[in-house]
Each structure stands twice: as structure tokens, then as C-alpha cells.
A = this chain, B = another copy of it.
Amino acid sequence: MIETTTNLLDIDALRRSCSSCALHEVCLPAGIGRGDLEQLDATVRDIRVLDRGKAVFRQGEAFTALFVVRSGSLKTFVESPGGDMQVLGFHLPGELVGLDGLTNDHYRCSTEALERTSICELPYAKLQKLAGEVPALQRQLMRVISREMVAEHGHMVMMGKQQAQERLAIFLYSISGRYARLSRDPYALVLSMSRYDIANYLGLVVETVSRLFSRMEAAGVLAVSRKSVRILRPDLLVEMCGSHLANACDEKLG
């Protein structure tokens, strides 16, 4: 059970404090004063570590909290009675999930870890109360929500009129941009989600995505090795995104 030990160490390593968090600038604390930050710290109930495939919450469950990715990654998706699903988005550190639950006190989509992932839990009742007292938090919360909406718009633009290759290019470009915001190497992507998830997210089938990766590798744009994708020619990738790029890249960088 070496795993468990590592797990515990991880939790320990992650200081339960927004002020000392590396994601400070891209997460909820952005633009919030020192004193108020302590209150936000107190609001974050705890940090959980989830193994790959484990759910943060499931569609239909009672809404209790919002969650922020601390490390790792998540996917959100909806399932229809028919059994098939639609991937709505992938979430990297600093990104918020659970907002759709506010409508009727039930989560309207499911969220799962794509790899070993740690998340901060923000009980909504507390957060709401605090936001009422701290205008800066209220503003930042709204800003984050709005960012999510803009991201969804980007997704729709992609699904609407883009060709398959443009979709994949835009997807990679978007991930790259978010890597940059996290100060990661934007040309060395690690796609924690399956090809199936990517295809579903893009409104394509697995085979098409696979073929596109191969084609883009043959064109010298990417070096693909299973989950690792290196962007060799960012200029060509941008070209492949087509004219909708401006929206798509703003999308997650907002």
C-alpha cells in the first residue's frame, strides 16, 4: 500500500490555504485582499484527492458545493437516458466546476477525475455568505462564472461550423493556452483524457480523432506519443484553427 502513503503525503503537501496556493492568481483568490483571503481559506472545507475515474459529483445529486481543481484534471459530462454521454469540458488547475447545480439544487452534470487529482471543496452556503460580505470575492466569483460561459461559447462555435481538423487544432490550442496561464510548457501537452473523450467533446468519433492526430503528425505539426503531444509547429497549428481562432483561444484565457 505504498499508494496510500503517497496519497497522505500529497494531502499534507497541499497546504490548506488559498494565500499560499500556487494557483492564487488564476483561482478565486485573484484580486482579493489579505484579510479577506483568510476568510476564504476558512470557507474551503477540505482538499480531496481523487483517483482516476472517481467522481467529484454525479448528475442528479444534491448541490452542496463548488469545486476547484488544485492539481490533475477533471472532465464534466451529461448522460442521457439513452445511455450515451456528452463531454462538456475538461478542467485544469484553477478552474471551477459545479456551477450548473445552482438552478434547482441538483447537479446537472457529472464530474470525474481524469487522473489522480486534488480538488478544493467550497461549500456553497458559506461561499455565498462570504461573497455577500466581501465584494471583491463576489466580483471574482462572477468573473469566473463568466469565464466559464465564454468557454462554453467557444465550444459551441467549434461544434457549429468547424471542420474536424479545425476542431482538434482549436482544442489543442486551447489546452496550450491554459498551460501557458499555469506557467507550464505550452508545447508539451499531456492529454489526460482518452481519445474517446476528446472525440466526444469535439462532436466527432474516435476514429476521426485518431486519423487527425496521425495526419497532423505526418504534416510535422505535432509529435504524438499516446497521451503526450508535443507541438512542433505552433504556427501551423494556428493556421489549422481557421478563422475562428480568436474566439477559441480567448475562450479559456479570458
Q: Which residues of A line the B interface, CB within 8 A?
A: 78, 80-84, 86-88, 99-104, 108-109, 128, 131-132, 135, 138-139, 142-143, 145-150, 152-153, 155-157, 159-161, 200, 203, 242-247, 250, 254
- When distances are taken between beta carbons in the complex, the residues of chain B under 8 Å from A200 are 160-161
Q: Closest approach, in angstroms, between the C-beta of A133 and any C-beta of chain B? A: 8
Q: Distance (Å) between the CB of A115 and the closest chain B CB?
A: 23
Nearest 10 CB-CB pairs, A to B?
A82-B243, A102-B146, A159-B159, A103-B146, A86-B157, A103-B254, A160-B203, A80-B244, A86-B160, A152-B152
Known: A80-B246, A254-B104. A159 touches B156 (CB 8 A): yes
Closest Cβ–Cβ distance, residue A126 to chain B (whole Å): 13
How many copies of this protein are present in the complex? 2
CB-nearest residue of chain B to A134:
B132
Closest to A128 in B: B138
Other-chain residue from B80, B138, B142 in contact with A157 (beta carbon distance below 8 A): B80
A76 to chain B: closest residue by CB: B153
* Identity of the chain B residue whose Cβ is nearest the Cβ of A132 in the assembled complex: B132
Assess whether B82 is in contact with A242, with CB atoms less than 8 Å apart: yes
Q: A80-B243, A159-B160 are in contact. List 19 more A-B contacts (CB 8 A).
A: A78-B157, A80-B244, A80-B246, A81-B245, A82-B242, A86-B157, A86-B160, A86-B244, A100-B149, A102-B142, A102-B146, A103-B143, A104-B254, A108-B153, A109-B153, A128-B139, A145-B145, A160-B200, A161-B203
